[in-house]
Amino acid sequence: MNIKDHIRGVPDFPKPGILFYDISTLLAHPDAWQVAMGRMAREIIKFQPDVLAGIESRGFLVTAPLALKLGCGFVMLRKKGKLPGETIRHDYELEYGTDTIEIQKNAIAEGSRVVILDDLLATGGTMAAGVQLLRKIGAHVTGAGTIIDLAFLPGKQRLKELDVPFTCLASYDD
């Protein structure tokens, strides 16, 4: 099964000139979603994770079923102010400004092997920030994964510079 057959391209979203790769069509197709999660599980298990960390919010859709399938814990990396209780945060630069990503304090034991996941890798800014946040709390980030990689953008290179191996199910060159 070709996973790309179940990913819809939406032109001019969220703004003119952008082609948005929409996984909702993949999620809506039970056989394709099952195949996608099976393939992701086979790739992610190679990183020997204790815990999977999902990036808000579409990353949660990938991470939760994989954590269940692999018998791993699941933690959420969220935007500032979205998690209850005490949090640890990491501020990072965007193309035009800054943002913050947080994790709940004590969500991951120091030294845990963590794989970070999202639906799509583009410039890699948020995923790199997630890696840095996880390292800040003492996690060992053993890998990263997405359903989609926009190979024409620098996301994979940013992860390579952080010495984080990356896997994906579908890569787009334009």
- Say if strands 113-121 and 51-55 run parallel, antiparallel, or are unpaired: parallel
Domain of residue 102, CATH code: 3.40.50.2020
Q: Does residue 99 form part of some domain? A: yes
Q: Does residue 14 form part of some domain? A: no
Total number of domains constituting the chain? 1
Distance CA 27, CA 32 (A): 8
Q: Does residue 129 form part of some domain? A: yes
> Mean per-residue pLDDT for 60-74?
98
Query: Considering only CA atoms, which of 132, 124, 24, 122 is closest in space to residue 77?
Result: 132
| 58 in catalytic set | yes
Query: Mean pLDDT score of the chain, rounded to an integer?
Result: 97
Distance CA 166, CA 43 (A): 10
Distance CA 162, CA 157 (A): 9
Longest dimension (CA), the chain: 44
Query: Considering only CA atoms, which of 9, 3, 4, 61 is closest in space to residue 32?
Result: 3
Tell me the pLDDT tens digit for each residue of 2-29. Answer: 999 999 999 999 999 999 999 999 999 9
Of the listed 89, 93, 95, 161, which one is catalytic?
95
Q: Does residue 9 form part of some domain? A: no
> Mean per-residue pLDDT for 108-133?
97
Question: What pLDDT does 96 receive?
Answer: 77
Q: Does residue 30 form part of some domain? A: no
Q: Find the DSSP H helices in 20-148.
A: 24-27, 30-44, 58-70, 125-136
Q: Does residue 19 form part of some domain? A: no
Q: Side-chain half-sphere of 60: how many Cα atoms within 13 Å?
A: 6
How many residues does this entry show for the chain? 174
Q: Does residue 16 form part of some domain? A: no
Question: Domain range for residue 60?
Answer: 46-172
Q: Are residues 10 and 39 in contact, defined by beta-carbon separation less than 8 angstroms?
A: no
Of the listed 39, 43, 56, 58, which one is catalytic?
58
* pTM for this model (two decimals): 0.96
Q: Does residue 35 form part of some domain? A: no
